[in-house]
Amino acid sequence: MKLPTELKLITAKPFGIDIELAYATSNNFTGHAIYKSHDCYLHPLAAQGIKHASALLRPLNLKLKVWDAFRPKTAQAELFRCFPDPDYVSDPETGLCSHCRGIAVDLTIIDHFGHELEMGTPFDDFRPQAHHGNKQVSELAQRNRLLLAGVMNIVGFDPIDTEWWHYQLPDAMDYPIIKPEQIPPISH
């Protein structure tokens, strides 16, 4: 089992990314804030991968925008309660729950003006159009999804088929679900 020494706080400037945690606001599919904090955490190996992906995009004048990273199991339960479809939201009692392990990230690519690249659907769009390889989205969206997939693959993340924005470290079950006492103190 690959135990984290501790979750790593991910901040915008040192990582060269933008962070806009969707579940820390009401601007998400539930219509209400799930998180009490805007702090973004990842397992140290996942954090290292995000930093590397950011460095790969920098020469293209692009960067990553993170919508979600580590997710407490209680938050996972609330998301599953609001949308109980395990193809899109992992059941916290029976599913993989890679976000609860600190090894998953939901993200996109933005340009140097901070505009999100066209990906064909918004974040948390639970329809087949959000699946990798869907040909119902524009050619530009397909190219941008492939750019994101390529960068994330190079740095060691795997996609899931149903969400173009979700990437996780391989062998997710090798990482434990983070328990409340392992969560770093939340800043307010």
Active site residue 20: no
In the structure encoding, which two tokens stand for residue 72, read together? 């407490």
Are the C-beta atoms of 88 and 129 separated by less than 8 Å? no
Strands 163-168 and 158-160: antiparallel
| Catalytic member of 6, 20, 139, 163 | 163
Rounded CA-CA distance 47/7 in Å is 9
Are the C-beta atoms of 96 and 172 separated by less than 8 Å? yes
Closest by alpha carbon to 23, among 66, 64, 53, 86? 66
Residue 82 DSSP class: H
If one counts every other C-beta atom within 10 angstroms of the C-beta of residue 75, the result is: 18
Rounded CA-CA distance 130/125 in Å is 6
Are the C-beta atoms of 109 and 116 separated by less than 8 Å? yes
Rounded CA-CA distance 43/99 in Å is 10
Give catalytic residues, as residue numbers: 163
